[in-house]
Structure 1
Amino acid sequence: MTSTAMDDAAEPGGLTVGAVASHVGVTVRTLHHWDAIGLVRPSGRTAGGYRLYSAADVARIHRVLIYRELGLPLDDIGELLDAPTVDVTVPLRQQRAQLLDRISRLQSMVDAVDRMIEAARAGILLSAEEQVEIFGQRWKPSLAAGARDRWGETAQWAQYAERAAGMTPEDWRQVAHNVETLEQDLAAAKRAGVRPGSAGANALAERHRASIDAYFDCSLSMHVCMGRMLAADPGFTAYYDAIEPGLAVWLRDVIDANARDRGIDPESATWT
């Protein structure tokens, strides 16, 4: 409420409901409702029966707006305004405690959003030293930034950033352990001559797809596209072939056969 509204309401006859609504920033409908429930009733009426608000009425509206902004229900506001002998600090202290709790929750949400922003920017919320310590000496911290540059505008990267934002170093250690175990099992299967399309190979393909699901939802068709990339991209091929010679191409063939057995034609698979 402005001093102008108070001054105008002090004029003979007071302010109409439309003028009050304009001055205090609420709708006429709101003032009608507050009148109907007895929260703020205009002190006067025109000869035609229209509401007229005095300076005291406008002051009461102002107090209602303050309490409403604090989140108090209208019923509680009415009790506060109509019982001046009640210690108004009691409900206000309660409301203050609730506001502080809300602020704490909102700050937690802000922190979570900040982590998502940083995860989307950096690719991983670990220092370079932590990355090497967790993922091993073969890991290059620049890989995360390179992945961001390559896929940072995709829906999958956004999903990854959301999940990565909530991961702790211990979570990443578990991921690294699972990946290392999977890679060892893939290499052992390749050396043992496990054929793509066999039950054992299909189980490994599904484990590999599940490892990607830790970062974003990976369909069978998307998995086929990733298999192609593993065998065609020099960086990925070198990574897998360092584990076991020929592993990248073998893994691609394993992924293709698994998808085919599950109704996906690898030749027409797309990133969907």
Structure 2
Amino acid sequence: MNNYKLTIQYDGARYKGWQRLGNSDSTIQGKIENVLTELAGEKIEIIGSGRTDAGVHALAQVANFKMKKNVTTEEVMDYLNHYLPNDISVVRVEMVHDRFHARYNAEEKTYSYKIWNKKYTHPFMRKYSMHVPEQLDFKKMREAAKYFLGEHDFTSYSNAKSKKKSMVREIYSLTIERNDGFIEIKVCGNGFLYNMVRKIVGTLIEVGVGNVDAASIPSILASKERIQTGRMAEAEGLYLDHVTFKN
């Protein structure tokens, strides 16, 4: 049994997220599995490093799958890129050891979020960034970012339905940079809850426009009340940037 590791880029605009939904052909996982099943001549299931939501993009999603058929990594890559739609690309295929698991072996993940911060819209990036016409206070946003660093219970910053799983996550870094009208927020951590990054970005935007005081973030975290986090940033500005794995 061969174990293949895929590095995948995709435009999530027309998909209902990463995770397969029954027999639906409207997810990234479903599209890739359908093509691999044809190649393998058997039912193939792929394991992603994480689930991106509907409309969210990926610069380097990682997945793995196992297949009995002996096919080279080059053949797998060529076959996938030939039959997948042009908004999904497999940029790397590697043969890995049998125990490699894209989800369980992931050590840290980095997401990036793009904001277009001008009064007018950006015609070419409107599907790939969030338009915030109000002038954002960059200094206040950077101050607010510091409160998210470290280990916290992020119940307030998630829409996760399960109450049995731990809501504790650790954020290693959170950077905010400006470049010619764009603001890019990058957040790196050991894992993220459902909608967590988008809710964090939403709070940073609220701080930037003056609706929320940065100093209130610790109390919002401590409250574990989701209603206190306010707006959630739009899906189209979010990208799974890269995933780091344990050696």
Q: Into which bin does the TM-score normalised by the smaller protein fall?
A: under 0.3
Tell me the TM-score normalized by structure 2: 0.21
| Higher relative contact order, structure no. (Cα contacts within 8 Å, ≥ 6 residues apart) | 2
Higher fraction of strand: 2
**Structure (1/2) with the larger helix percentage:** 1
Question: Which structure has the greater CA radius of gyration?
Answer: 1
Q: TM-score, normalised by structure 1?
A: 0.20
